[in-house]
Amino acid sequence: MANNQLLTTIPVVEWSVTAGGPADDEKWRLSRAIHAACEQSGFFFLRNHGIPPSLLEAVYAEARRFYSQPLDDKRRFSCSADTEYLGYREVGAERSLTHSGREACEQYRIGYVADPPAGGWAGHYHRPFGAATRLLERLATIGNEILLLSALALNLPATVFDPFMEKPVHRLGLNHYPVGAGSALGNRVHYSMTSHVDHAFFTILTQNAPGLEVLGSDGRWIDVPVRPHEPLVFLGDYLERWTNGGYRATYHRVRDVSTDRISLQFKHRPSYGAIIEPSQFVDDDHPSRYEPFDTGRQYAELLRSLLGV
Ligand SMILES: O=C(O)CCC(=O)C(=O)O
Ligand SMILES: [Fe+2]
C-alpha cells in the first residue's frame, strides 16, 4: 500500500525566498527536496512560490479575453517561423505527433526571442498579454533558481548551467481547450493534447480546470488536481539528456474537457544555440545514452513540422 501511495501522490516542494540567495541550510533542504522529487517521479507541486494569486488570475482573465475575440482578430497575431513561433495557433493548427488528428486547443506563446531585429517586432505579440509578460518574468526567476538548486542537488558547481543561459529563449504558453473541440475536429481519441515531453529543462504549469495527466514512474497516468495558483513543475527532455537519463522527462497529456479550460505553461529554455549533451555524467562505467542535441534548431524544426508554417 505504501508503494501505491508513493506512486499516485504528487510531491510538494515548499519554496523559500532564500532559494536565490547565498548557500545555506534552507537552500540545501530545497535542493534535496527537488532532487528527491526528480529522482522519484520527475514532477512536483511548488508551494509558497511568492507569485500573487491576483497575478495568476489576471493572466487567466487576459487569456479568456483574447480567446473570446472573433477568429480574424486573433489571426492578426498568428505565429510562424518568422515570429520564432510567438503568437497565436488556432484550434487544430497543430497536428498530433502520435495520431492522425490534430490537437484540440488554441494556443498562444509569448517569450524571449533569439533574434530581435531593430524595431522590436516581438512587442506586437506581447501587447495583448501585459499580465502574462509579468508572470513570465517571475517564472523565469524561479526557473533560474530551480536550475541552480538542481546543480547543487547533483553535486555540481552552481555555475554549471551558465554557458547555456546567456540568452535564454523561455516561453510562456497560454492554451485554451474549448468543450467539444476534439469531436468538432473529427478526432478519434479522447484527449485534447497528445502525450509528449516538453522541449525545455522543465515546465512550470498551472491550470484552471481539470484535464492534465502526467505519467507516473509505474506507467500509470495520474490526474493532476486543479490548483490554479500552485504550479506543477515537471522535467523536460533537456534535463533528461543532460543527466544521461538520471532524471526522466515527464510524459503528459490533456484529456478531453467537460468545462472550458485554460493552462499556463512556462518552459524554461536555454539560449537558441545551446547544445545539450550528458558530458557531466559520462565515464567508462556510464557510456553516453544521448547524442549532442541542438536545442534551438530542433525546436524550430519540430514546430515547423507540427504547424506547417
Ligand atoms: O494544457 C496543458 O495542461 C498542457 C499543455 C502542454 O503540454 C504544452 O503546451 O506543452
Ligand atoms: Fe507539454
The rounded percent of the chain whose pLDDT value lies above 90 is 79
3-class SS of residue 186: coil
Segment 144-173 shows an average pLDDT of 94
Tell me what pLDDT residue 120 has: 80
Average pLDDT, the chain: 92
Dig out the grid coordinates for 169 from the structure: 529563449
What is the reported pLDDT for 246? 92
**Does residue 188 sit within a domain?**
yes
ipTM of the complex: 0.99
Q: Which ligand is nearest to the CA of 250?
A: 2
> Average pLDDT, stretch 235-245?
96
Residue 199 has pLDDT above 60, yes or no: yes
- Domain containing 118: what range? 7-302
Give me ligand 1 centre to Cα 287, in Å. 33
**What pLDDT, in 10s, does the model give residues 31-53?**
999 999 988 889 999 999 999 99
182: in domain: yes
- Tell whether the model's pLDDT for residue 1 goes beyond 50: no
Largest CA distance in the chain: 60
CATH of the domain at 145: 2.60.120.330
In a domain, 32, yes or no: yes
Residue 77 domain-assigned? yes
Residue 18: pLDDT band with limits 50, 70, 90 = low
Question: Does the beta carbon of 244 lie inside 6 Å of ligand 1?
Answer: no
What is the model's pLDDT at position 115?
82
Q: Probe ligand 1: pick from 192, 261, 263, 299, max atoms within 8 Å of CB? A: 263
Residue 3 is predicted with a pLDDT of 41
Quote the pLDDT of residue 17.
Answer: 67
The closest ligand to the CA of 175 turns out to be 1
Instruction: Count Cα neighbours of 118 within 13 Å in the Cβ-side half-sphere.
Output: 0
**18 vs 286 pLDDT, higher one:** 286
Q: Which of 288, 202, 289 is nearest to 249 (CA)?
A: 202
Q: Give the count of domains, the chain.
A: 1
In the predicted model, what is the mean pLDDT of residues 87-110?
93
Determine the Cα–Cα distance for residues 202 and 240; give it in Å rounded to an integer. 10
Asked, for residue 2, whether it belongs to a domain, the answer is no
Closest CA to 18 of 28, 10, 8: 28
Establish if 146 belongs to a structural domain.
yes
* 308: pLDDT strictly greater than 90: no
SS3 of the chain: helix, strand, coil, percent, to 5:
35, 25, 40
pLDDT at 91: 96
Q: Is residue 71 part of a domain?
A: yes
In a domain, 307, yes or no: no
Dist. CA 98 → ligand 2 center (Å) = 14
